[in-house]
Amino acid sequence: MKWELAWNDPFTQYLAPFDILVGDRRTWTTLTETVRGIIGSGSLICQRIATQSPILSSVQKGAQRVIRMVTGQTTKRSPTLDAAHLTAQLRTLALADLADGPPDELWLIADGSDLRKPYAKEMPYLMKVRALDKSLVPGYRTLTVLGMTPGWRGILYHRLFSSKEAGFVSEPHEVQQALETVSRALLDLKATVPLTWILDSGFDDVAVWRTIWEQDEHVVCRLCHDDRRIQYATGSGIWCDGTIAEAQRAAPLVATTQTLLEVRKIGQPRAKRQQVTVSIHACPIRVSYETNVRRTGSGTTVTRLVWLVEVRLLDTALAPWLLLTDWAVTTAAEAVRIFQMYRQRWGVEDSFKFTKDCLGWEEVQLLDLEGIRTLVALAWVAAAFVYDLGIGLDHESVQVLARLGGWEARPDRRPGKLTLTRGLRRLLDMLTTNAWLQGYYRDHGPFPPGLAAFLPGWCPDDEL
């Protein structure tokens, strides 16, 4: 069972567009095997990546080839093989998918995530980030934007940064850079397709909303500051000065709906996935801001009509969600739509869980910040390949991978990314194991009897 790179194998076909970043065959082989090794090992530790690659595991110092590539030591013929160009190519591929069949609308889900390194001391430019228990630990910050439509998900932006690195300006500056980069990339598409940014409470910032509106795009943002000064309409239609909290109390019921959520209802001992009744209240508000907020130079005051939406999960002790949107919310259908849009933002949390838990995002160990960025970007390249597999579930080959991962075919149960990744790993383990066995047989001859007993029917390639 001989295995080697072939331009007709699905994995190599997926990576083929990245060859424009590579200037020589050796670097191309290292690149493809690194992505393959990330999927196979579920880790960003270079030694583990190399051991899961049939090629890198069969050469001396395979891990060093990975390290030298991501740190730029062996890419003089490939100067564009870095995190910025890898993520730009991911964005190009995502936009090409959209161009094949423009959607009715596109949702842009931006989210920041921490890459935590609680025990690291020597890694460069470590800053303080939040651990799960809210304490501060060493690590890095990341900002990612995913594009979503029904049946499609693409990576449009990713950047890892540290407040300790030279040239760092601020986290709000990083956010503005992400907003503007994605908007420029989507300039042709948004002439016919409405774009909506779906943001969590970390983006409760008028400077963020200002930039989105200046780009002629929409926003649905969860609020965390209910003391923001605004104007709101009372039930009699009179506009009053007040706060978000006061407008919240005045918002009438617009819709009631049912949804599936993992929650703990009052009286239940623990959370479980179950039907929850949701009530949605909404009212129009006016938000005023200066156009030059966080900018140099003079600006003007702008007042914009938007909507405050309160989502209450009935029979639970959870605090209501407060959402701000520039989409009108005057009917039950419009209210439910805003609720469903914000729920889609959780898709990015699912993506982070996948890259952290299944691709070992936080296991990265390098003493070069650009190398760390490049290796994490390669993890997103690997993640995008698994996303593509999930979308093509009707293909027989994808269903085989899903079954390898333990999936039982059911009409109401699609395999997730974890299942597909498990199937891929089993397949890659087989290829890597066979490559290692071929090398051992070539160098040392027949296997010891104890090992040979586990390999009935196995023979070297040259005897097939």
| pLDDT at residue 73 tops 80 | yes
Quickly state the pLDDT bin for 426 (edges 50, 70, 90). Answer: low
Mean pLDDT of 181-203: 93
Quickly state the pLDDT bin for 43 (edges 50, 70, 90). Answer: confident
Quickly state the pLDDT bin for 343 (edges 50, 70, 90). Answer: confident
User: Looking at residue 3, what is its pLDDT?
Assistant: 37
| pLDDT at residue 363 tops 70 | yes
Quickly state the pLDDT bin for 1 (edges 50, 70, 90). Answer: very low
Q: Mean pLDDT over all residues of the chain?
A: 85
pTM of the model: 0.84
| pLDDT at residue 348 tops 70 | no
Quickly state the pLDDT bin for 179 (edges 50, 70, 90). Answer: very high
User: Looking at residue 377, what is its pLDDT?
Assistant: 92
| pLDDT at residue 62 tops 60 | yes
Q: Which of 384, 404, 36 is nearest to 396 (CA)?
A: 404
| pLDDT at residue 464 tops 60 | no
User: Looking at residue 401, what is its pLDDT?
Assistant: 58
User: Looking at residue 329, what is its pLDDT?
Assistant: 96
User: Looking at residue 358, what is its pLDDT?
Assistant: 67
| pLDDT at residue 132 tops 90 | no
Q: What is the pLDDT of residues 98-112, one digit of tens each?
A: 877 778 899 999 988
| pLDDT at residue 60 tops 80 | yes
| pLDDT at residue 345 tops 90 | no
- Name the superfamily (CATH) of residues 83-352: Transposase Inhibitor Protein From Tn5; Chain A, domain 1 (3.90.350.10)
**Domain residue ranges in the chain:** 10-76+368-444, 83-352
Quickly state the pLDDT bin for 410 (edges 50, 70, 90). Answer: low
